[in-house]
Amino acid sequence: MEFGFSEEQLMIQDVARRIAQEKIAPSAEHHDRTGEFPLENIRVLGENGLMGIEVPEAYGGAGMDPVAYVLAMVEIAAGDAAHSTIMSVNNSLFCNGILTHGSEEQKQTYVRAIAEGAEIGAFALTEPQSGSDATAMRCRAVRQDDGSYVINGKKSWITSGPVAKYIVLFAMTDPDKGARGITAFLVDATREGFGRGKTEPKLGIRASATCEIEFNDYVARPEDVLGQEGEGFKIAMGVLDAGRIGIASQAVGIGRAAYEATLSYVKERKAFGQPIGTFQMTQAKIADMKCKLDASLLLTLRAAWLKGQGKKFSAEAAIAKLTASEAAMWIAHQAVQIHAGMGYSKEMPIERYFRDAKITEIYEGTSEIQRLVIARSETGLR
Ligand code: CAA
């Protein structure tokens, strides 16, 4: 068993840490307050290979492995969670599926622009009435005689929707077949029939833009189908397996930022004539925070390592996401408690970590869905 990292993995971690500390963290409060999309910083991430970490160099990426992706995501998330959300959608939800299921032409057209950070990608599965129950989607793609599809419907909660040029869309091509009647399409948002709806005013990750998107007689050409007709649900599930490693990493980054701020604070802040870190009740919290953080990181690295080895990792990704997201929420909660009034104030980033952590228990599969995936895998029952 090897707990060390390769030179290449340490290098990308270092690049990500530098950008996070020098460019991202200093503007995080501004982006949180204004909700302004951090386009300039996203371009910098792209120029440094962080928007397509696992994408081969031939398609504009950094050509690294999933462990490198985890290390970089943790650093960016520790700088600002919203930036890491945009990064994770480009890397995991957009590029991954096309690399696995796309044609050579699709990889050249769609992956390169996103991996280089020149464009933003999105992933459209959720609908107003269909979240955890993804097969309940209503968005329809009707096949025409010439092999093209006419798409109508609405998707909601689309991360980066307001700014995305390219979108991986899931639509029902054969409603009678349920999960086997869903097809994946590559959508160009500049084409006719595509529209954007209301943006979501969110509790946290406020600089990661989120909106509804609409399709009104949008025509997808035969070459816009990703994989085969009817394979869409499996593509979505496979992409989400990988995506969950990214969200677990994000949760580790948010948790680490909250933990490190707390560690400094308990050494400086005095009560009853001594640093609050000398009190046993504070020490217990510090020890529990550290244990949860380390366990989360190790579980996330295990899932990433399995993926890199080409082994099955669905359950391990769910275990990592569940553990890391609940740990991040718990750590951020304790961080607010230890900082007390200052933890509740917008003068410090602690309350932002608390708001940002919550989303990791919700998107890319709620904690309830992760438990379902893990229990199904363990018991073999459905
Ligand atoms: N990989 C590949 N195939 C898979 C799979 C996986 N991980 N999981 C299931 N499948 C296949 C099954 O084998 C089955 O195939 P067959 O028809 O050939 O047997 C098919 O998919 C249907 O599977 P299930 O019967 O298990 O499907 P289900 O309806 O019971 O749903 C679920 C399973 C786990 C609950 C799934 O619906 C799920 O993960 N839901 C959560 C959806 C989700 O994560 N949404 C997040 C939205 S995206 C987002 O948040 C993005 C963002 O903006 C950041």
Provide DSSP, 56-89.
-GGGTS----HHHHHHHHHHHHHH-HHHHHHHHI
Question: What is the rounded distance in angstroms from the CA atom of residue 35 to the CA atom of residue 28?
Answer: 10
Give the pLDDT confidence of 217-249 residue by residue, as tens digits. Answer: 999 999 999 999 999 999 999 999 999 999 999
Task: Report the distance separating Cα 361 and Cα 84, nearest Å.
Answer: 15
pLDDT in tens, 90-109: 999 999 999 999 999 999 99
Atom of ligand 1 nearest to the CA of 89: 54
Q: Which of 233, 239, 245 to mutate to test the pocket of ligand 1 (most atoms within 8 A of CB)?
A: 233
What amino acid positions are annotated as catalytic residues? 364
Percent above pLDDT 90 for the chain: 99
CA–CA separation, 283 vs 277, rounded Å?
A: 6
**Segment 191-212 mean pLDDT:** 97
CA 268 to centroid of ligand 1, rounded, Å: 48
Instruction: Identify the pLDDT of residue 145.
Output: 98
Give 227: exposed, middle or buried? Use CB within 10 Å, 0-12, 13-18, 19+: buried
How much is the pLDDT for 2? Answer: 85
pTM of the model: 0.98
For the chain, list the domains and their CATH numbers.
7-120 (1.10.540.10), 122-230 (2.40.110.10), 234-379 (1.20.140.10)
| Helix H or strand E encompassing 34 | helix 25-34
Q: How many whole angstroms separate alpha carbon 85 and alpha carbon 263?
A: 25
Determine the distance separating the centroid of ligand 1 and the alpha carbon of 43, expressed in angstroms. 32
Q: Which amino acid is at 245?
A: I
> Which residue is closest in CA terms to ligand 1's atom 51?
364
User: What is the model's pLDDT at position 127?
Assistant: 98
> For atom 27 of ligand 1, which residue has the closest CA?
179
CA distances from 35 to 30, 334, 363 (A): 8, 26, 19
pLDDT tens string 307-360: 999 999 999 999 999 999 999 999 999 999 999 999 999 999 999 999 999 999
Atom 8 of ligand 1, nearest CA residue: 237
Whether residue 43 contacts residue 274, with contact meaning beta carbons closer than 8 Å, is answered with: no
**Residue 275 dihedral angles phi and psi, to the nearest 5°:** -60, 140
Dihedral sign, Cα of residue 32, residue 248, residue 343, residue 278: negative
Question: Average pLDDT of the chain?
Answer: 98
Cα 52 from Cα 44, distance rounded (Å)? 13
Answer yes or no: is pLDDT of 190 > 90.
yes
Over the stretch 36-64, which tens digit does the pLDDT of each residue have? 999 999 999 999 999 999 999 999 999 99
Cα(373) to centroid of ligand 1, in Å?
9
**Ligand 1, residues at Cβ distance < 6 Å:** 89, 93, 123, 125-126, 132, 134-135, 157, 159, 179-180, 233-234, 237-238, 240-241, 314, 363-365, 369, 372-373
In sequence order, what are the beta bridge partners of 149?
143, 220
Nearest atom within ligand 1 for CA of residue 233: 21
Nearest residue by C-alpha to atom 11 in ligand 1: 234
